[in-house]
Structure 1
């Protein structure tokens, strides 16, 4: 596993390679994830920006086909959905830009996912 510095560089390189306008959105999202998930280690995972806790990837994002996707892995706290009345677990989200409401929701998801 790469150290945090190498992982940071890998993540920023993967973000820079995204199609416009996603490098800018990706940089903002990277900062949001790092601020919302203390203890997360940035790295790439299958070429995508990803974030690990205790060596296991808990979330990642990617940009393609006009939108950005963000997902949790099985190593995240998957109880982000407060409605436990069904068996479906929200684990992936799509967006095209980071407005205040989207940033707030994604920050909340990251905080819960790493607890």
Structure 2
């Protein structure tokens, strides 16, 4: 069982600490594409095999359909930001919080608005031609 202190689990506290370290590293290295790509590659390389395969696929898809998005890490997650530095899409590995599926998520800057209800995240357990096509369509739309 995950230990809770002051409303946050140990995993959540670790994620907050990781985000603070990311911000310090971004400040030191600058917010360049190269620094972001390196941070994302390192985050993906550190994942267990199942998550790594999914993250590599998401990274490839984003690079192909939304090359204008800038890679960076966000709470340790590979993420991709718009020109203002706001996260549009991110990948959360299942192993991050020991969940049964990875998550492909979209933040507020994603251009997915569709009436009064729209999807902001998906559970991802495998990349197939069909899931890759759906992911590409959502990322393309989200990036504008």
TM over 0.5: yes
State the TM-score, normalized to the length of structure 1.
Answer: 0.88
Greater share of residues in strand: 1
Q: CA deviation at 1:78?
A: 2.1
Greater share of residues in helix: 2
- Taking the TM superposition and a 5 Å limit, the aligned residue runs for 1:104-115 are 104-115=133-144
Among 75, 92, 97, the residue aligned to 2:121: 92
RMSD: 1.3
Q: Which has the higher contact order (CA 8 A, sep 6+)?
A: 1
Q: CA deviation at 1:61?
A: 0.7
Q: Which runs of 5+ in 2 are unaligned?
A: 1-25
- For 1:29 and 1:70, the matched residues in 2 are separated by 8
State the TM-score, normalized to the length of structure 2.
Answer: 0.71
- For 1:113 and 1:46, the matched residues in 2 are separated by 20
- For 1:3 and 1:75, the matched residues in 2 are separated by 20
Q: Which runs of 5+ in 1 are unaligned?
A: none
Count of residue pairs the alignment pairs up: 110
**Greater gyration radius:** 2
- For 1:18 and 1:30, the matched residues in 2 are separated by 14
